Amino acid sequence: MTTMTMAKALNAGLRRAMESDGRVLLFGEDIGRLGGVFRITDGLQKDFGEHRVMDAPLAESGIVGTAVGLAMRGYRPVVEIQFDGFVYPAFDQIVSQVAKLHRRSEGRLAMPIVIRIPFGGGIGAVEHHSESPEAYFAHTAGLRVLSPSDPQAAYLTIQQAIACQDPVVYFEPKRRYWDKGEVDEAVDALDPSQAPDPWRARIVRRGSDVTVACYGPMVRTCLEAATASADASIEVVDLQSLSPLDIDTLAESVERTGRLVVVHEAAGSLGLGAEVAARITERCFFALEAPVLRVTGYDVPYPPSRVEEHFLPGLDRVLDAVDRAMEY
């Protein structure tokens, strides 16, 4: 086991994927010589060459369009969108081409593309650099959506995403890049007997009174809330896969606890929390002892960095929702 940051774990996962498969190519703005603005690809161009780790022009639609062409020719491109708010110029390419080409070609064309997106707030960034656009892509049939929450998950799931035959939108919680954790690099991410299924939710803390479902940057926040809670035993479930959603694991947890709070940074209206709440209500209606509650960002444009702490769900808001669930 090695202690490393999530950023380093992603770098190690990308390195291992490139060593294992010569078809894996990296493409994005400043990812080569600079190693990316968050240094996720640091050192990879030096070790694998400019023909496999390529700097792209500042044109997100062109980056994803190039990835489509590479995938058609049998490569496995991994593209980086430098910041979450920059993905929108590529939105048409992703939802109209990447998501649909496999079905449109009746299975003849695979789109093994990974679109890496640093997402979420908490770093004091300027406008367009702190967004949570995951619901757009989870809503789009033909795309898989993953979001790791710790270094070990990042190390494994980035390799599993690259090996997937379907296109994967891979949301990396940017404020957790520097969080440290133990990583076992000896685990073979592609061996199901060694590595967990990336499309399954993970119970990261056991509890008996309330289930708290979350993903990406909110997992650490919810674990801190579970530790701080004096009145309720909180079970924390990391959804991890946002599309497909693993409702089975979550439902099993809710059937034990009888209560569910869903937490995410994105705005509440029509967010992932609304879908989770609806499906758990349908599935676990007779097991629920309280309505499903949501703790989310507000339905406003992302605020200036000096006041983002008022926008982002924090420990107090999570604990307040847990207390309200326990009152029923």
Per-residue pLDDT tens digits for 275-325 = 999 999 999 999 999 999 999 999 999 999 889 999 999 999 999 999 999
How far apart, in Å, are the Cα atoms of 296 and each of 80, 111, 261, 271, 275?
26, 32, 10, 9, 13
pLDDT of res. 22: 97
**129 flagged as catalytic:** yes
In this prediction, residues 145-149 reach a mean pLDDT of 98
How far apart, in Å, are the Cα atoms of 118 and each of 38, 64, 83, 114, 126?
9, 16, 6, 13, 14
In this prediction, residues 186-209 reach a mean pLDDT of 96
R_g of the chain, CA atoms, integer Å? 19
C-beta neighbour count of 240 within 10 angstroms: 27
DSSP bridge partners of 172: 118
Length of the chain: 328
pLDDT of res. 230: 87
Q: What domains can you pick out in the chain, each with its CATH number?
A: 2-183 (3.40.50.970), 202-326 (3.40.50.920)
pLDDT grade for 231, boundaries at 50, 70 and 90? confident
Which of 203, 207, 190 shows the shortest CA–CA distance to 237? 203
The answer to pTM > 0.85 is yes
Token digits of residue 156: 């494994």
Per-residue pLDDT tens digits for 99-128 = 999 999 999 999 999 999 999 999 999 999
Q: Is the pLDDT of residue 130 over 90?
A: yes
Tell me how far apart the alpha carbons of residues 290 and 174 are, in angstroms, rounded to a whole number: 33
Say whether the peptide bond before residue 118 is cis (omega within 30 degrees of 0): no
Which residue is catalytic, options 102, 128, 129, 310?
129
